[in-house]
Structure 1
């Protein structure tokens, strides 16, 4: 970031900043960050992949340590995590708008607007975090019971969810800071902060789940508390780095005072992404209800299998983030053709890496599954699930990369439509018929995932190819 960029004029209020989004290309300011041309897809993708990998290894550690408490404990932690991520879908309303606005502002070299967007996102994220905490903390038992699992699983899941919710505000702020820095072109700072936090998380798991070093043995509650403390640690690192101007996004005179005009811009872009997240998790909930018909073993197998395959999903997250950043910055810089190229390059990179990792996990499916949970009924089901999901890795890669590219351009409504068609029409409908009418095996139900991801991939390729997203104003 260039410290010699001209400051904003005196006496301007933060609300005025939002209107600048309509005229970003004409501002002759120095770059805030490396130009989009200087940022390669892999350069932006690998730190996000690395950070997500360490986070997945933490979840593996959670499941491995909790697995010592039994299948019901694993199912409870999995159910608690599903509920928590459904709640966090609302935060996407802030972070998706944040990506599009900051990427455009950085591409147009408007430092003050980028800072104002970050500050208003911090305010919004805090309100979202507090709101969900206060509203849902009294109802954790009921939220887990909705899945139709047995009472012991409900008890474990509720314990875990309570302690996750206590870290809700640190989670949203960590998400906001990390997303903002990646949108500005700095994926490395969130990486090293996240790696340290994840190591801390695993250590705290060991201490709090088992009761080492004089701590009480909290079991599944200890896993939730460890996650919340790790999130708090990240906020305590991000904040002083930002305030002392050691990050690519630096504080200006923009205010934290609520700016409803900028809020509306953030939410206008972000609310379809939030709806997409909520819709996805509601659909996932319905899919889980179908799976619970087949018992706790099938439910646990799905959750453990998904966590194992998360290792192959991670490149998708990295390339999605890279595509969103590059597409947004190129459009902000008036270079639509380079935005198109960045989207396709991100897609090819995601397909290659996700397919390779998926194939490796398929080859090692049984020993990996047995490492997590050595249960004669659950392990074969995990292996079956990994084979089915491994087959759709190229299709998932397309959804990750092109979905990220469209969101980076501000086209957040079309990915919402694809989620509805893929998940509800192509996955849930046939899975319901297979399970409830024909009494098909759990493997047939899981195979409905293939149709879901195939249709979404086709729709996203067609949308990106048409190029209407290039004309969207943010």
Structure 2
């Protein structure tokens, strides 16, 4: 008797087993990838937008590329301060959502609105005032800043840098408000809405930059204008996404036949202005604002140390020659794609841990942290292996120099070897921020940065003569120390609130 051929039910069973196996390997904790999937798209969009802007600037000549590239590096350091406040807003919103979900679903929406609307208003006011003050200071100091940090450059580079820096300064206020609004949405678990804001900002900047820089022939001035307009457009989308926090009265909705988008924006603007008139400068010292700053200031200092350390290690690499500097840039560009799942899961972990602790479920938060680390480690390894195998071919896409290709491939191979440690050193602290455990992260990052990444990188790269390989080994030592300390912190449970 011949065996029966595999029918549809057998095929469905095999597919179901495969899905269950993938879910057990990568899909824990439950809900992590649902939150992380939009963030993966956002990270890919950011990487692709950076490459596209480089190509647009390259058509204007090397002076424009150098000026725009330098301003972007400076802007990353400044935005790290605002990003820290956005992280504080994410944690505060996540814990508020978790606390509100202790009650029945019938009252959930109104409870969330009462908890989150003052938090959103005060966080936006805090960043708006802070960004405005920072922008005014930078505007007054922009010429001395360029002359100090770019001494002896060509007049064309200086002029382009001043023009693009002016655009960044004007765009700082709407950009800061967009970052905080996206952080609030991520804390609520609405990562798709936060990603939509980022995609609108990125796509509009690229489109406007192409039109203004090359279509209208405005060059770097066109790039600065595109930057400002894209941030304003993203701010409108962000405020519209937050409009449900301030529900419109039924009577107003029936008597005003305005278009939905315009009506929502006007309503949100009136709500924010009404709270500012009622509270004034006290909004910057409210309980909600203090909760955001309490989480955000250690993250701001940590980000500042991290960027300063990166600049110092770049200086160490620059002393090893042009080939080493080129290989360092290429390897970082390739390895950046490997880190995308880890970054997305870290952001998702902040939301999950914050919501679990806000709901008064510390055991669930501890289990989620362990499973999140396990999933991130496995996902990073699964992505690092094929990238390492294709490292020589990928390096050849960036440079035709055989020495640069060989050195870049070696750096990618080393990165793949240490990628399991990366999950503990970066995904764990991102998730621990959901418990507002940011001061410990600051202490660990400070020790690791200065004792390993800078000091060990200098000893191995410069003193021992290992060049860029030695500098990267110092970076991996930083990963290892951070990963060990954060793993101990996660296992100890000392990051949980005292009441837990």
Q: Which residue of 2 aligns with 1:446?
A: 472
Q: Which residue of 1 aligns with 2:106?
A: none
For the residues of structure 1 that align with 2:71 and 2:224, how far apart are their CA atoms?
Answer: 9
Q: Does 1:107 align with 2:132?
A: no
Whether the 8 Å contact between 2:117 and 2:245 is mirrored in structure 1 is no
Which of 348, 353, 356 is the aligned partner of 1:330? 356
Q: Report the 3-state secondary structure (helix = DSSP H, G, I; strand = E; otherwise coil) of the residue aligned with 1:468.
A: coil
Distance 1:318 1:371, change over 3 A: same
For the residues of structure 2 that align with 1:302 and 1:233, how far apart are their CA atoms?
Answer: 35
Whether the 8 Å contact between 1:389 and 1:449 is mirrored in structure 2 is no
For the residues of structure 2 that align with 1:349 and 1:369, how far apart are their CA atoms?
Answer: 28
Whether the 8 Å contact between 1:64 and 1:372 is mirrored in structure 2 is no
CA drift of 1:85 comes to 1.3
Whether the 8 Å contact between 2:341 and 2:379 is mirrored in structure 1 is yes
Q: Deviation digits for residues 255-289 of structure 1, max 9, x if unmatched?
A: 24342132223212221111111111111122222
Matched residues, number: 432
Q: Which residue of 1 aligns with 2:237?
A: 237
1:233-312 alignment runs, 5 A limit: 233-243=233-243, 255-256=275-276, 257=279, 258-259=282-283, 260-262=285-287, 263-295=289-321, 298-312=324-338
Q: Deviation digits for residues 421-472 of structure 1, max 9, x if unmatched?
A: 2211111002222344344322222232111111111111110111111125
CA drift of 1:324 comes to 0.9
Which of 135, 138, 141 is the aligned partner of 2:137? 135
CA drift of 1:73 comes to 5.6
Q: Does 1:43 align with 2:34?
A: yes
Which of 176, 197, 215 is the aligned partner of 1:172? 176
Whether the 8 Å contact between 1:78 and 1:303 is mirrored in structure 2 is no
Q: Does 1:188 align with 2:206?
A: no
Name the stretch that deviates more: 460-469 or 166-175: 166-175
Q: Report the 3-state secondary structure (helix = DSSP H, G, I; strand = E; otherwise coil) of the residue aligned with 1:60.
A: helix
Name the stretch that deviates more: 40-49 or 264-273: 264-273
Whether the 8 Å contact between 1:181 and 1:187 is mirrored in structure 2 is yes
Q: Which residue of 2 aligns with 1:87?
A: 78
Q: Report the 3-state secondary structure (helix = DSSP H, G, I; strand = E; otherwise coil) of the residue aligned with 1:418.
A: helix
Distance 1:399 1:160, change over 3 A: farther
CA drift of 1:342 comes to 1.5
For the residues of structure 1 that align with 2:64 and 2:396, how far apart are their CA atoms?
Answer: 16
CA drift of 1:139 comes to 4.4
Which of 414, 420, 426 is the aligned partner of 1:400? 426
Q: Does 1:455 align with 2:481?
A: yes
Unaligned runs of 5+ in 2: 1-27, 101-110, 248-266
Distance 1:232 1:375, change over 3 A: farther
Q: Does 1:418 align with 2:420?
A: no
CA drift of 1:175 comes to 0.8
CA drift of 1:113 comes to 2.3
Structure with a larger share of its residues in helix: 2
1:333-412 alignment runs, 5 A limit: 333-372=359-398, 381-412=407-438
Whether the 8 Å contact between 1:148 and 1:289 is mirrored in structure 2 is no
For the residues of structure 2 that align with 1:298 and 1:145, how far apart are their CA atoms?
Answer: 27
Q: Deviation digits for residues 174-204 of structure 1, max 9, x if unmatched?
A: 1111110110111111222322332223323
Name which one, 1 or 2, has greater alpha-carbon Rg.
Answer: 2
Q: Deviation digits for residues 86-108 of structure 1, max 9, x if unmatched?
A: 11121144222212221111111
Distance 1:324 1:447, change over 3 A: same
Superposed CA RMSD: 3.3
